[in-house]
Amino acid sequence: MRNVHVYDAASATWYVQPTTADNDLFPPDRTEACAVVGTATDKSSYNIYVHGGVTNGTLDGGLWILTLPSFHWIHSDIGTENARAGHTCSKVHEAFMIVYRGIPNLGDAKCDQYAGIKIVDLETLEWVTKMDVTTNMVYKVPAKVYKAIGGR
């Protein structure tokens, strides 16, 4: 996903703009991924977390972040351990992403009544099984992001 298309609503015209990535490491094209957005408290960055999906018949389990306004892709260390597609991602408490159901294995869609929920810590970029909630939680930009783009 190397290109950005910009649509001007006023003129109904499309524009094309490339994204960037370190070491030419762009996320593979995919279908059926899901995403949430984390907004820095100072609005210095808006980070789109993209998880999972299918690329040419293969489940992609990775978690990528497209940080705006630089439109720069950052690859997290999350791998294929919870790969799935056709799922939904929802941000809760500004700090966690709930990954809900989807196809965990291509070629299977059996009931997984007690395995459909996974949680990602949006700051540490890790899968967690515990979600500790406190009052007035805020979104914190992952170190991997602010080291790449600066600020916090």
Partner 1 sequence: MNLVEGMFVGLYYQLPYPLLHVRTHYSHHSHVTLHNLTTLPASDPPCANPPTNVVAQQNNKLYAVGGYTILRSPTNSSGGGTALANSHLYALDFSSSVDLQKDYASIFTSVTRLPDLVPRIIWGNFLWRDNSLNLFGGSQTTFPILLSDGSYSQSDRVKIGDALFSTDISNTNTNWKRNRPFDYEGTRKTPIGQAAKAFDGDGDNGQGVLWFYGGGYWESPVTVGTEEKGNTVDLKQYSDLWRVPGECDPGDVVACKQTTSTSSSAMNVTRPRMQSTMVWVDHDGNGKNAKGLLVLFGGYINGGDVVCSTSLLVFFWRGRINLVSIKGMGLIILLWDWFF
Measured torsion, CA atoms of residues 132, 127, 96, 49, in degrees rounded to the nearest 10 = 170
**Residue 146 sits in the site that holds partner 1 (CB under 8 A):** no
Q: How far is the CB of 100 from partner 1 (least distance, A)?
A: 6
* CA 20/CA 67 separation, integer angstroms: 10
Of 23 and 107, nearer to partner 1 (C-beta) is 107
- Does 135 participate in binding partner 1 (rule CB under 8 A)? no
The yes or no reply on residue 10 touching partner 1 (CB under 8 A) is yes
Smallest distance from the beta carbon of 79 to partner 1, in angstroms? 19
Q: How many CA atoms lie within 13 A of 133 on its CB side?
A: 5
Q: Is 148 in the site for partner 1 (CB under 8 A)?
A: no
Instruction: Tell me the closest approach of the beta carbon of residue 87 to partner 1, in angstroms.
Output: 7
In the complex, what is the shortest distance from the CB of residue 136 to partner 1, in angstroms, rounded to a whole number? 13
How many residues line the site for partner 1 (CB under 8 A)?
Answer: 77
Between CA 102 and CA 116 the distance in angstroms is 8
Q: Does 112 bind partner 1 (CB under 8 A)?
A: yes
Is 66 a binding residue for partner 1 by CB under 8 A? The answer is yes
If one asks whether residue 106 binds partner 1 (CB under 8 A), the answer comes out as yes
Residue 71: which of 17, 129, 144 has the closest Cα? 17
Contacts with 118 (C-beta within 8 Å, 6 or more apart), sequence order = 82, 98, 99, 127
Query: For 52, left (φ over 0), alpha (ψ -120 to 50), or beta?
Result: left
34 is an interface residue for partner 1 by CB under 8 A: yes
Taking CB under 8 A as the criterion, which residues in 73-102 touch partner 1?
A: 85-88, 90, 92-93, 96, 98, 100-102
Q: How far is the CB of 77 from partner 1 (least distance, A)?
A: 20
Which residue from 79, 78, 64 is spatially nearest to 22, judged by alpha carbons? 64
